[in-house]
Amino acid sequence: MNRPFQRLILAAAALIAPVAHAATDTGEAAFRATFKTLVETDTTHSAGSCTLAAQRMGARLTEAGFAADQISYFAPPEHPRDGGLVAILPGSDPRARPILLLAHLDVVEAPRGEWASDPFVLTERDGYFWARGAFDDKAMAAVWVDTLARLKAGRVAIRRTLKLALTCGEETSGAFNGAQWLAQNRRDLIDAEFALNEGGGGRTDGKALIEGGRLVVQTLQVGEKASQDYRLEAHSPGGHSSIPLRDNAIYRLSDALIRVRDHDFPAELNDTTRAFFAKGSALFGGAVGAAMQTVASAPPDSTAFAAAVAVLDHDRTMHATLRTTCVATMLDGGHATNALPQSAGAIVNCRILPGHSYDSVRAALVAAIGDPGVTVTTLYPDHVQGSAPPLSPAVIAPIEAMIARHFPKVPLLPTMSTGATDGIYLAAVGIPTYGVPGIWVNPDYNGIHGVNEHVEITALMRGRAFLYDLVHDFATRR
């Protein structure tokens, strides 16, 4: 779990009121059907079909009244199972730029033998929905489809045009990515003033609300790191293992990886992380809270800043929030148990702060390794790098107001994701993208990307109500 949120949870739990109950919604049965259909459509990279999932969601929108020319399906010929859709609900004011709702349809692999129940059958048990994608990201995808269907069927008079993009490829590095394809090939189709996406959300104090727990924080993702892989490779002459040489590719690679482990990129802030540390300092309290306030306010080249960073660096997530990070994730080397290795390689995954190029990070790795016998190669060098969206009052203020309405006394914190979402592809073409709050998880993250993924039914339904009201407000306000 993210330790900053763990400390925040402990500090704030006693201060937070229970989540306010939303009014009964007669459309809940339709939403459950949409969610079930989406979850039970296998969209893994190995065997599933996002194209089929998109078609089924398009059918739901058509049933709600969307015309054929308001739904665009896409699936490049070379990736027939990796398709998606863009749906458009026109607004009345042509001068108001659209809002884009983004969600990905694909899910992480889920071997049946490791799960307590079939990961592609939506199972309701103990107050939770259990299934692969129950949270990531089919909860949001189903909510967006349901939101547009409700607005269309209810003939709600919206001022801003709303767009929905359901895409594939977010969960698999190197696979076809629908959000990237749209950004590069159909920028006009998804044009928007800003986009709402995954990445934010709530955290409880460790218990589900049905078990007496409390929601203690909601987060709004404003920006994210870029994920980039580098390959380290060492070579040596090889030979018989009975006559060792110090010039050993595995040893040379090992020395390089130790230097990568020990290298810290400089600590730095952007608008989002500065706001996170400033607003979060009062909630964390103690030495950590004081250090957060100092980091947010002290000059970056000051002794006070360095001392505060040293305190925060004891927390893994704080450390990652403050800087670019690189970590070894895969190894290979040698060709026989009785032979000296002729080559050895490793993958180092870096999570790069906005504003830094892949080449500059590669150069930093080369300098830290300090061995010309170890090559560092940038993999998939065509990956885009986005920039953090602005902390725009026009976006932030309505979200804060809606949080106060749906979740009284629950604080909203801006965060920069240390992971990655498809929002980075939109940011790269000038569409600021925000990870919305609403649906919450427990501090153990509910098995997301792991075994027995689940979402509290209360969290999904109240999150749905919050997100509908938020989109309705954005689409109708002047």
For residue range 24-48, list pLDDT tens digits in order: 455 999 999 999 999 999 999 999 9
Q: Do residues 30 and 120 share a domain?
A: yes
Please check whether residues 230 and 213 belong to one and the same domain.
no
Nearest CA to 352 out of 382, 379, 387, 328 is that of: 387
Residue range 254-270, pLDDT digits in tens: 999 999 999 999 999 99
Q: Grade residue 363 by pLDDT with cuts at 50, 70 and 90.
A: very high
pLDDT of the residue at 10:
44
Structural domain for 306, as ranges: 226-378
Among 349, 378, 407, identify where a domain stops: 378
Q: Are residues 238 and 278 in the same domain?
A: yes
Examine the domain organization and report whether 244 and 152 are in the same domain.
no
Per residue in 198-248, pLDDT tens?
Answer: 999 999 988 888 888 899 999 999 999 988 999 999 999 999 999 999 999
- Pairing outcome for strands 194-197 and 433-435: parallel
What integer pLDDT is reported at residue 22 of this predicted model? 41
Nearest Cα to Cα of residue 103 among 453, 417, 422: 422
Say yes or no: 294 and 212 in one domain: no
Check residue 418 and give its pLDDT: 85
User: Residue 79: what residue type?
Assistant: H
Span 274-287, pLDDT tens digits:
999 999 998 888 99
Strands (E), 276-406: 325-333, 339-340, 343-352, 374-378
Q: Residue 429, Cβ neighbours under 10 Å: how many?
A: 15
Residue 316: C-alpha distances to residues 55, 174, 319, 325, 412 (Å): 41, 27, 5, 11, 22
User: Which domain CATH number covers 10?
Assistant: 3.40.630.10
Question: What pLDDT does residue 211 have?
Answer: 85
pLDDT in tens, 120-173: 999 999 999 999 999 999 999 999 999 999 999 999 999 999 999 999 999 987
- Smallest Cα–Cα separation from 12: which of 284, 326, 420? 284
Indicate if 397 and 304 belong to the same structural domain: no
Task: Report the CATH number at residue 247.
Answer: 3.30.70.360
Model confidence at 17, pLDDT cuts 50, 70, 90, reads: very low
Q: How many other C-beta atoms are found inside a 10 Å radius of the C-beta of residue 392? A: 13
Q: For 19, list phi and psi in degrees, rounded to 5.
A: -65, 135
432-457 pLDDT tens trace: 999 999 999 988 889 999 999 999 99
Q: Please identify, among 358, 378, 398, the residue that sits at the C-terminal boundary of a domain.
A: 378
Q: Are residues 178 and 281 in the same domain?
A: no
Instruction: State the pTM of this model.
Output: 0.89
Per residue in 106-133, pLDDT (tens digit) is: 999 999 999 999 999 999 999 999 999 9
**Domains of the chain: total:** 2
Residue that finishes a domain, picked among 378, 412, 437: 378
- Answer yes or no: do 405 and 372 share one domain: no
> Could you tell me if 51 and 117 lie in one domain?
yes
pLDDT value, residue 419: 80
